[in-house]
Structure 1
Amino acid sequence: MSRRDELEQVLSQIIDPETGLSIVRMEIIHDLAEHDGKVSLVFRPSSPVCPMAYSLANAIKQKIGSIEWVDSVTINVENFVRADHLQSLLNG
């Protein structure tokens, strides 16, 4: 399995409690990339005021960060009213 496939498999385990669908199936993850253990992606919640954006973003960071070969995770947040705040919490 490629690293990209492993990332997608891990992300598909994250379920949005509002819809019951995986975040991969909902297509809210974009520009997923990996280079030398550094993972980056764009997270676009389904709504600019998505009530689950913080918990979903945290789950994304935790799940990807738990993969053995991952050294860092950078999440860019788009299409969310508090994108800057959420992004600063995730990427410190």
Structure 2
Amino acid sequence: MRDLEDKVLNKLKEVIDPELGYDIVSLGEIEEIKVEDKKVYIKFLPTTPLCPFLPFIYSSIVQKMEELRLEAEVNIDYEGRWSIDRVDPEIRKKLNI
């Protein structure tokens, strides 16, 4: 099962947050991944609850999971708090933060 979770994570790295130009994994926007049979549960934490790109990111996640022949259930966490500390250190350097 871990192998499939790694495939899911790698596929999610192909989803780019248009606002920042980096993938949603490196930006720390993925909180949780659970794979059961042919279904994957993904908890997504946007950089802001008012992100105008949420529909685009949501549909991109679903599309990437379909490429793995998985049904995606994406839960957007509007209550959680995203912070810059969640971002990969290399990306922080590139963003000068």
TM-score norm. by structure 2 comes to 0.74
In structure 1, the partner of 2:76 is 77
Decide which structure has the larger Cα Rg and report it. Answer: 2
Q: For 2:5 and 2:67, locate their aligned partners in 1 and report how far apart those are by CA, in whole Å.
A: 15
Q: For 2:42 and 2:17, locate their aligned partners in 1 and report how far apart those are by CA, in whole Å.
A: 18
Cα RMSD (Å) of the superposition?
Answer: 1.5
TM-score norm. by structure 1 comes to 0.77
In structure 1, the partner of 2:20 is 19
Q: Secondary structure at the match of 1:24?
A: coil
CA apart distance, 1:43: 1.3
Alignment of 1:1-92 (within 5 A): 2-68=3-69, 70=70, 72-79=71-78
| Matched pairs, number | 78
Q: Secondary structure at the match of 2:40?
A: strand
Q: Secondary structure at the match of 1:2?
A: helix
Higher relative contact order at CA 8 Å, sep ≥6: structure 1 or structure 2? 2
